[in-house]
Amino acid sequence: MTESRRTQPGLPAPTGPLSDAVVTALRGDDLPADSLAAAQKSAESADPYGLDLQTALYVLYELHYQGFDGVDADREWEPHLLDLRRTLERRFLDALRVDATPEADAERTLAALQIEPAGFDDASVSHHLQRDGELWQFREYAALRSLYHLKEADPHAWVIPRLHGRAKAAMVAIEFDEFGGGRADEIHAGLFAALMADLGLDTTYGRYLEAAPAEALATVNLMSLFGLHRSLRGALVGHFATVEITSSPGSRRLAEALRRLGAGPAAQRFYDEHVEADAVHEQIVRREVVGGLLEAEPGLDEDVAFGVTATGFLEDRLGAHLLSRWREGESALRVPLPSPGEPGQENTNKTVENWEE
């Protein structure tokens, strides 16, 4: 099975003053206090969904996962960086609480996710890829999703110490499946790496960070935001439930798209696996994870619903970005992918836009 996490990724190129302050701080031995203080101030008015803020947040969160090549592991808990991260998080979270306010309780919000459109949904990426998608579009989709899928289930594991009873037991059972049920060759992150290899993509962990638009980074940052804060455990459960409930039908469409496009068996297997596994997980997560959590802590109902609506809001933004670019015949990535089998790799050190201007 392809192993994508044997090495640490390099730090990405900054996309603006916020990410520049973060990357500069991580590159050096001494923290640049002045630039971090300036970043703290500018973060308070930054676009909460913008590329610069989302890049800075992604880099800071990655310190809790694999880290970066040449960056001291102790920077994970550096107080000045944590202060800046908190300001970025508040900006992001405050915007989400306005833009993704739940209109119902957790039970009704989750129930709405189970309503599948009767026909073709022209706002759905999986519907588009199933019926009309081209191979280059699926390769872009896989490259973007690799930012999460190569660490699949890791952000959700942070909630386990914050649960107890039914919710904890059920959450661990689902995570056990995500991590291969005790078999390294069945870990879902490894299955996705095999999918990428079948599609001629680079399976290196974090490889496509500099190609990802802000909309893609935000969907991954949301998981880290919810997972790293005990106060947001209800929202993390809502996010997890959303993923499990919507995964099976979406995975079926994506598996059919890969068969139509003639992708290899490893590519098809990843989504075939999720069709079956997540259909079972859906029932467990609703009855035991969500049900168990709200039985023990009914005051978290609104937080669970918020986790659902915030996830849907950001996924819709990403879907709208992908479909609008693809329908114009344009790449949805900041750095387009080379064609399969093309010698060399795209220069991801290239700055796509000069943010200093």
Tell me, yes or no, whether 194 lies in a domain: yes
Tell me, yes or no, whether 4 lies in a domain: no
Considering only 86-95, 253-262, 338-347, which range has the smallest mean pLDDT?
A: 338-347
Same domain, 43 and 59: yes
Query: In 150-178, which positions are buried (b, 16+ CB within 10 angstroms) versus exposed (e)?
Result: bbbbbbbebbeebbeebbbebbeebbebb
What is the average pLDDT across 260-273? 90
Considering only 14-23, 143-152, 243-252, 310-319, which range has the smallest mean pLDDT?
A: 243-252
Does the structure show a pLDDT above 50 at 26?
A: yes
Same domain, 122 and 264: yes
What is the average pLDDT across 309-319? 98
Does the structure show a pLDDT above 60 at 343?
A: no
CB-neighbour burial class of residue 209 (10 A; exposed 0-12, middle 13-18, buried 19+): buried
Same domain, 92 and 112: no
Tell me, yes or no, whether 143 lies in a domain: yes
Cα–Cα distance measured from residue 30 to residue 43, given in angstroms and rounded to the nearest whole number: 21
CB-neighbour burial class of residue 347 (10 A; exposed 0-12, middle 13-18, buried 19+): exposed
Q: What is the pLDDT of residues 120-179, one digit of tens each?
A: 778 899 999 999 999 999 999 999 999 999 999 999 999 999 999 999 999 999 999 999
Tell me, yes or no, whether 166 lies in a domain: yes
Which residue range(s) make up the domain with 293? 106-327
CA dihedral defined by 135, 185, 224, 36, rounded to 10 degrees? -90
pLDDT of residue 31: 79
Query: In 235-266, which positions are buried (b, 16+ CB within 10 angstroms) versus exposed (e)?
Result: bbbbbbbbbbbbbbbbbbbbbbbbeebebeeb
As separate numbers, helices (DSSP H) first and strands (DSSP E) second, the chain gives 15, 0
Picking from 107, 94, 93, 99, the residue whose alpha carbon sits closest to that of residue 302 is 107
CB-neighbour burial class of residue 138 (10 A; exposed 0-12, middle 13-18, buried 19+): buried
Does the structure show a pLDDT above 80 at 344?
A: no
Same domain, 202 and 298: yes
Same domain, 80 and 164: no
Same domain, 61 and 198: no
Same domain, 45 and 183: no
Token pair in block for residue 238: 């809502």
Q: What is the pLDDT of residues 275-306, one digit of tens each?
A: 876 667 888 999 999 999 999 999 999 999 99
Tell me, yes or no, whether 346 lies in a domain: no
Residues 46 and 86: beta-carbon distance below 8 Å: no
Query: Hey, which bits of 122-208 come out as E strands?
Result: none
Average pLDDT, rounded, for the chain: 91
Tell me, yes or no, whether 133 lies in a domain: yes
Same domain, 118 and 220: yes
CATH number at residue 215: 1.20.910.10
Same domain, 180 and 310: yes
Tell me, yes or no, whether 354 lies in a domain: no
Does the structure show a pLDDT above 90 at 340?
A: no
Percentage above 70 pLDDT, the chain: 92
Residue 118 — pLDDT band, cuts 50, 70, 90?
low
pLDDT of residue 268: 87
Token pair in block for residue 336: 């387009």
Last residue of a domain, one of 80, 98, 116: 98
Domain count, the chain: 2
Picking from 257, 251, 241, the residue whose alpha carbon sits closest to that of residue 274 is 251
Same domain, 249 and 227: yes
Same domain, 180 and 44: no
Percentage above 90 pLDDT, the chain: 80
pLDDT of residue 278: 61
Same domain, 160 and 282: yes
Does the structure show a pLDDT above 80 at 93?
A: yes
pLDDT of residue 62: 98
CA dihedral defined by 295, 296, 299, 302, rounded to 10 degrees? -60
What is the average pLDDT across 294-323? 98
What is the average pLDDT across 34-61? 95
Does the structure show a pLDDT above 90 at 64?
A: yes
CB-neighbour burial class of residue 312 (10 A; exposed 0-12, middle 13-18, buried 19+): middle
